Amino acid sequence: MSGHSKWATIKHKKGAADAKRGQKFTKLIKEISVAAKMGGSDPESNARLRTAIIKARAENMPKDNIDRAIKKGSGEMDSAVFYELTYEGYAPGGVALIIDTLTDNKNRTASDVRAALTKGGGTLGATGCVSYMFQTKGIITYDGEQYSEEELFEVALENGADDVVAEDGIIEVITAPADFATVLEAMQAAGFEPMSAEVEKVADQTVLLETEKARKVLKIVDRLEELDDVQQVSTNLELPDDFEEEDE
């Protein structure tokens, strides 16, 4: 868990940086549009759309942007057609990677993902080569200095969370994907604001690498996440206890 909590902290910092350069909005708008296209424009009956809207609001996305993205997805406004594509592969050290994308150009995305992997010493694998190692879960992350595990635990479990885990100053509320939006809304209504909230793929077993090798993997993750078409990168990397990020 310690390696995962360090990873959660790094992702939170990266998320803040993404928001500053507007990349977060771009990816959220795509997700809202695709969710509306697949399940309809009513968030009450479309759990995926409801989750995407909650995440967009958490990033302070203007309501007009959210409404426009929904209309594009539901066909009320013209929009590009997006395809959901998932790539699987390996980073150095045998670390598994799953790259989820939304794209309007399959060839471009495949080329960009392959290039990002290859540049860092990784390889693209066949469909199914690593996905069996992961389970999809809702992960809501809180700052352990701001809230206590006990106060979060009570609200989370009462509203359908599967577990609450605390370590290294990070508290994670874990949910089934279908319960994610309900639990997140209940936590926010109770006054608990998360560091991050995602439905993500969590590895059943992790691969522990020493610091320098771990940094090489994180550089690949960075390159992939910098691609506009990439929505999420999942990995079974575990960071060592003494891991420190390199100064930018």
Which mean pLDDT values do the consecutive 10-residue runs of the chain (248 residues) have? 55 57 83 94 91 88 94 85 95 96 96 97 96 96 93 96 92 94 93 90 93 93 93 92 69
Taking the C-alpha atoms of residue 180 and residue 137, their distance in angstroms, rounded to an integer, is 8
Determine the pLDDT at residue 6.
61
pTM: 0.85
- Domain spans, the chain: 2-74, 83-132+204-238, 134-202
Q: 83-132+204-238 in CATH: which number? A: 3.30.70.980
> Do the two domains 2-74 and 134-202 of this chain adopt the same fold?
no
Angstrom CA distances, 172 to 132, 176, 184, 189, stand at: 23, 13, 12, 17
Q: Which CATH superfamily is domain 2-74 in?
A: Integrase, N-terminal zinc-binding domain (1.10.10.200)
pLDDT of amino acid 195: 87
Nearest Cα to Cα of residue 213 among 130, 95, 96:
95
Give the residue carrying structure tokens 């009956």: 45
Q: Which residues contact 21 (CB under 8 A, 6 or more apart)?
A: none
The whole-number pLDDT of residue 1 equals: 42
Q: Which of 64, 87, 75, 62 is nearest to 34 (CA)?
A: 75
201 forms beta bridges with 136
Class of domain 134-202: alpha beta
User: Residue 13: its pLDDT value, please?
Assistant: 58
Residue in the block written with tokens 């700052």:
143
The pLDDT, as a whole number, for residue 80 is: 80
